C-alpha cells in the first residue's frame, strides 16, 4: 500500500478557550492537489501553520510519508510554504531568489545553478535567471515563488491563499498554471482558500471546513452534486435557499412548506427528516427551467409563475431573478433566442424536478 504524503490525525489547536482546529483528520495521497476550503476565520491558516511547525498542536499527529514530524523543527520538516505575499527579495535576481534556500544549505555554486535552471524550465520561464524580480509580472512572480520552494524538494508544498493579491483575470489564468506546476513537479500541494472556484478548478480532492472542523471531503463534483451538510450545500456553488417545515416524507422524497409560503418537493439528504420538523432546502439556479408557457413544465413536480425582477447579464452564465409569490428565485437564463428580448416585468414560468432540491434537517 502506498503511504499518503501527508496524514493528520485528530489535529487540534486551541487559542485560550477558543478551538481554532477541532480534531481534524485527513490524508493526502502522493502527488495530488488537496484544498482546504472555508470561510474567513474557520481555521485554515492555523492548520497550515501547525503542519509547517510554526505552531504546536494541542492534540493529534502529523505524518509525512508515514513518519511523525511533531518533534521535527520547522526548518527541518520536509514541507515548504508559499504565502499570499510571496516574500521574494526584490534586490536579488530571479536566480538568486530561487537558489536562496540552497545557498543557505551550503550547496556548491554549480549545483545550485543547475537546479535553478531546471526549476526555471519547469515553471516555463527558461533563461531569465539574471533578471531582477521587479521585471516580472504578478503571475511570473507567483511561479518564481513556487520554484524557490520546489528546489528544496519538499514532500509537501503548502500554499496559503497565494492568488489572493492578484487581479481577477490573472487569478483565472493562475488556477490553470498552478495545477500545471503541481503536475510538472509531481509533488503534493496542499492549498487553502475561501474561494470555491479556485478549489473546484484545481483540486483532486477538497475538504470543506467550518468552525474548526471538516464538514465533508471529496472531489469537487461530489461536493457540488452530493453535499452532505447544509453548510456544504450553501458554500459550494450558487444556490437558492429556503427555510421551512416538512409536511410529508415518502422514501427519499419530501414536501416542505417554506416560511414564505411556497410548497416545494425535495430530496432527503443527510440525517433523518420527519414531518413537522424544520429543514432547509437548496436548489441551484441551473436546476430550474425558465419558460414562456406553463404547459412546458407539466412534468416537473415544482412549478410556479412569476415576473422578472432583474436580468444579470454575464454571457453564457447569465441569470434571471424571478419574483414568485413572496420569493425572489435565481434562475439560469436559457441561451435560446426566444429569451434574447426578455425584459424586467415579463411574465415567466419556472419549474424543477423534486430531486434537484437538496433538503437538510436541523435548522432552527
Ligand atoms: P482567513 O481566511 O481569514 O485567513 P482562516 O480560516 O485561515 O481565516 P485562522 O487564521 O486559522 O482562520 O483562524 C481561526 C481562528 O483562530 C480565528 O477565530 C482566529 O481569530 C483565531 N486565531 C488565529 N490565530 C490566533 C492567535 N495567534 N491567537 C489567538 N487566536 C487566533
Q: Give the model's pLDDT for residue 123.
A: 86
Using DSSP bridges, classify how beta strands 33-37 and 205-210 pair: parallel, antiparallel or unpaired: parallel
3-state secondary structure of 34: strand
Ligand 1 centroid to 72 CA: how many Å? 23
Confidence of residue 271 (pLDDT cuts 50, 70, 90): low
Substitution candidate for ligand 1 out of 12, 18, 20, 209 with most atoms within 8 A of CB: 20
Number of the ligand 1 atom closest to the C-alpha atom of 43: 11
Q: pTM value?
A: 0.90
- Which of 134-148, 238-252, 268-282, 306-320 comes out lowest in average pLDDT? 268-282
CA of 42 to the centre of ligand 1 (A): 7
Per-residue confidence (pLDDT) for residue 320, from 0 to 100: 96
ipTM value, please give it.
0.95
DSSP line for 39-55: -TTSSHHHHHHHHHTSS
Q: Which comes out higher in pLDDT, residue 49 or 252?
A: 49
Are 7 and 51 a contacting pair, CB within 8 Å? no
List, for residues 193-227, the tens digit of each pLDDT value. 999 999 999 999 999 999 999 999 999 999 999 89
Complete domains list, the chain, with CATH: 6-231 (3.40.50.300), 238-361 (2.40.50.100)
The residue whose grid cell reads 534586490 is: 91
Residue 335: CB atoms within 10 Å: 11
Pocket of ligand 1 (CB under 6 A): 15, 20, 38, 40-46, 194
CA angle 247/251/257 to nearest 5° reads: 20
Q: How far is the CA of 282 from the centre of ligand 1 (A)?
A: 29
C-alpha of 29 from chain center: 18
User: Which tens digits make up the pLDDT trace of 338-360?
Assistant: 888 899 999 999 999 999 999 99
Closest CA to ligand 1's atom 25? 15
Residue pair 246/277 in contact (Cβ under 8 Å)? The answer is: yes
Q: What does the pLDDT average to over 237-256?
A: 92
Amino acid at each position: 500500500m502506498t503511504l499518503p504524503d501527508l496524514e493528520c490525525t485528530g489535529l487540534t489547536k486551541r487559542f485560550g478557550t477558543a478551538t481554532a482546529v477541532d480534531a481534524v483528520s485527513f490524508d493526502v495521497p502522493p502527488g495530488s492537489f488537496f484544498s482546504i476550503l472555508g470561510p474567513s476565520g474557520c481555521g485554515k491558516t492555523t492548520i497550515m501553520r501547525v503542519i509547517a511547525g510554526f505552531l504546536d498542536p494541542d492534540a493529534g499527529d502529523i505524518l509525512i510519508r508515514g513518519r511523525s514530524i511533531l518533534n521535527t523543527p520547522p526548518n527541518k520538516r520536509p514541507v515548504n510554504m508559499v504565502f499570499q505575499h510571496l516574500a521574494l527579495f526584490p534586490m536579488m535576481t530571479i536566480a538568486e531568489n530561487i537558489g536562496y534556500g540552497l545557498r543557505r544549505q551550503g550547496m556548491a555554486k554549480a549545483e545550485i545553478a543547475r537546479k535553478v535552471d531546471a526549476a526555471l524550465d519547469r515553471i516555463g520561464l527558461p533563461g531569465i535567471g539574471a533578471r531582477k524580480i521587479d521585471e516580472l509580472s504578478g503571475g511570473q512572480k507567483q511561479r518564481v515563488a513556487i520554484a524557490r520552494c520546489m528546489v528544496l524538494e519538499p514532500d509537501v508544498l503548502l500554499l496559503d491563499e497565494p492568488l489572493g493579491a492578484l487581479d481577477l483575470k490573472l487569478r483565472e489564468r493562475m488556477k490553470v498554471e498552478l495545477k500545471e506546476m503541481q503536475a510538472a513537479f509531481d509533488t503534493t500541494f496542499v492549498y487553502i482558500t475561501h474561494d470555491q472556484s479556485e478549489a473546484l478548478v484545481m483540486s483532486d480532492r477538497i475538504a470543506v471546513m467550518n468552525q474548526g472542523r471538516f464538514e465533508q471531503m471529496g472531489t469537487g463534483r461530489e461536493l457540488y452534486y452530493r453535499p452532505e451538510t447544509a453548510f456544504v450545500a450553501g458554500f459550494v456553488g450558487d444556490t437558492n435557499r429556503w427555510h421551512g417545515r416538512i409536511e410529508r416524507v415518502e422514501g427519499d422524497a419530501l414536501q416542505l412548506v417554506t416560511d414564505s409560503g411556497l410548497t416545494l418537493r425535495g430530496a432527503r439528504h443527510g440525517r433523518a427528516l420527519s414531518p413537522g420538523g424544520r429543514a432547509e432546502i437548496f436548489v441551484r439556479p441551473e436546476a430550474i427551467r425558465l419558460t414562456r408557457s406553463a404547459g412546458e413544465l407539466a412534468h416537473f413536480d415544482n412549478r410556479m409563475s412569476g415576473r422578472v425582477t432583474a436580468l444579470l447579464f454575464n454571457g453564457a452564465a447569465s441569470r434571471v431573478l424571478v419574483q414568485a409569490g413572496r420569493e425572489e428565485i435565481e434562475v439560469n437564463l436559457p441561451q435560446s433566442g426566444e429569451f434574447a428580448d426578455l425584459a424586467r416585468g415579463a411574465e415567466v414560468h419556472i419549474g424543477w424536478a423534486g430531486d434537484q432540491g437538496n433538503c437538510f434537517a436541523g435548522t432552527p
